[in-house]
Amino acid sequence: MRFVFLIGTLAALSGCASYRDVTFIYYPNAPYRTTFPSRSEFYAQAEKECQKYGMRASYNWSNYADFQRVRVNYLCVQ
């Protein structure tokens, strides 16, 4: 019984540890800067970050945050 509990616990913990996401927060009316990717490059940048962990990027959601900022979120999935 302990063995089954240990396997179940390890499976749950490994699932939680593999959660990754990439979030971009930007001002829609801000001028373009070379240090931050443009909106059209968000997916490519998120894909690059997720590939470090052997995952791929999947668009999750966008919403307005405080102070007129927009938040774009990508999940890293297997």
pTM for the model = 0.70
Q: Which residues share a beta bridge with 64?
A: 70
Residue 20 DSSP SS3? strand
Q: Which amino acid is at 25?
A: I
Any idea which residue has 């968000």 for tokens? 42
pLDDT tens string 9-55: 655 555 555 689 999 999 988 888 888 888 889 999 999 999 999 99
pLDDT category, 68, cuts 50, 70, 90?
confident
